[in-house]
Structure 1
Amino acid sequence: MNFILNTFRFIGLTVYYMLESLVFYIVPKRKKNVSGEIVLITGAGSGIGRLLSLKFARLGATLVLWDINEEGLKETSRLARENGGARVHSYICDCSKKQDIYRVADEVKKEVGDVSILVNNAGVVTGKMILDCPDSLIEKTMEVNTMAHFWTYKAFLPAMLASNHGHLVSIASIAGLMGFSRCSDYSASKFAAVGFAESIDCEMRDLQKTGVKTTIVCPCLINTGM
């Protein structure tokens, strides 16, 4: 019964978002001008993070790229410069470690400036049944996919609030809207990421910080690595 309900829910959400996309295709929203904005992207060394980096480079943003993979980060930086990125800064950062996030965040603020668009994209997935998943991997999944969002927000949100200008982007997942087999830790972490981002949006409204925007992205199947 749960499988049937989840299937109908998945179909319903898919239809809803397809219709929403169709409406926005016919009547496009006004696009945000990101030229000159300082954009920080975690997990920029590959996959969605790399693609976002190249897109922001073409749009004239100042890029701050984080990843734990040094080689991947170098390649993304090179590609970003080839795609028009005049200001590209890269930092090795382990998003599973709070102190590393705070340390690198301080470096960014000193060397580049206040981040105005924060994209929490870094993510890990185990793809194991719950009893086959080591405790250490479950902890890392929660640290990277959820807790890192707390620490990056605490590091960069104060400057956004002070200027009433900024954008907080959470790359979550369809698994943050419904559960899947072999994704118990991943799905839990993405549910948490969605709930966290929605709560921050409510806090911005309570604080009347209308210039600080939030966006939650829930991709379905993708053909990039993690």
Structure 2
Amino acid sequence: MNFFLETFKVIGLFVYYLLESLVFLVVPRRKKNVSGEIVLITGAGNGVGRLLSLKFASLGATVVLWDINQEGLKETSRLARENGAVRVHSYICDCSKRQDVYRVADQVKKEVGDVSILVNNAGIVTGKRFIDSPDSLVEKTMEVNIMAHFWTCKAFLPAMIASNHGHLVSIASSAGLTGVNRLSDYCASKFAAVGFAESIDFEMRDLGRAGVKTTIVCPYVINTGM
């Protein structure tokens, strides 16, 4: 009986969100005001992470930048200030290491405050056939592209739940929607990122935390470094 109830629930939600999407095609959503929000972006030292940092800075957000590239962080911080950022904080953090994520997260909470928008952007790609991919690179791909999402959400989501205010953004990939040649480990990590973010969204709804939003971004080919 529970199986049928769950099935009807899933079908009902599918129809609801489909109709909601059709409505928003005609009536645009009101744009989110991020002024004053504390926005943490992983992989902010270059590429998409840098572009996101500059955009949030121009919109009046406090930006918290994470990367393993110190020089890249310095340059992003400089550009963010030029774009009008009042508060810019940068931290060296290896997102592939759980304890490093937790350590730097605690530092951010003490020095900046509770993160209200978390953008999991850091990612790597090997671009090799699966059989030619060294085990160490396969593990690193999973650690950076999905395991880091677990650890950052574990660190910052509780405060969002407590205040019923926050936003989790997952920079996934179109490779998280379909398989791609020479990207087996990358696709697996991005499929996981999509599934994780969708599941967290359902958990927030089940908890009655409608103020905690999730966004999944699945870009195609992007002309930036990783």
**Considering the TM-score relative to the shorter chain, is it more than 0.5?**
yes
Instruction: Give the number of aligned pairs.
Output: 206
Work out the CA distance in 2 between the residues paired with 1:74 and 1:182.
Answer: 33
Q: Which residue of 2 aligns with 1:176?
A: 176
CA distance in 2, matches of 1:131, 1:56: 40
Q: How does 1:112-127 map to 2 (within 5 A)?
A: 112-127=112-127
Tell me which moved more, 23-32 or 99-108.
23-32
Equivalence for 1:145: 145
Q: How many Å apart are 1:29 and its aligned residue?
A: 1.8
The aligned amino acid for 2:159 is A
Matched residue of 1:53: which SS? helix
* Structure-to-structure mapping, 1:82-93, within 5 angstroms: 82-93=82-93
CA distance in 1, matches of 2:27, 2:184: 38
The unaligned stretches of length 5 or more in structure 2 are 1-20
Q: Equivalences for 1:1-226 in 2 at 5 Å?
A: 27-226=27-226
What is the CA–CA distance in structure 1 between the aligned matches of 2:75 and 2:48, rounded to whole Å? Answer: 14
Q: Secondary structure at the match of 1:198?
A: helix
Instruction: Quote the sequence identity (%).
Output: 83
5+ long unaligned stretches in structure 1: 1-20
Amino acid at match of 1:31: K
Shift of 1:117: 0.2
- Give me the whole-angstrom Cα distance separating, in 2, the residues matched to 1:165 and 1:29: 18
C-alpha distance in structure 1 between counterparts of 2:139 and 2:80, whole Å: 32
Deviation at 1:28, TM superposition (A): 2.9
SS in 2 for 1:190: helix
TM-aligned CA deviation for residue 143 of structure 1 = 0.2
**1:46-99 deviation line (CA, Å, top 9, x unaligned):** 000000000000000000000001100100000000000110000000011000
- Structure 1 residue runs of 4+, over 6 Å off? 23-26
TM-score, normalization by structure 2: 0.89
Distance 2:28 2:57 in 1: 22
Aligned CA-pair RMSD: 1.5
Deviations 1:150-190 (A, max 9, x none): 00000000000000000000000000000000000000000
Q: Distance in 2 between matches of 1:173 and 1:26?
A: 26
Question: How many Å apart are 1:131 and its aligned residue?
Answer: 1.1
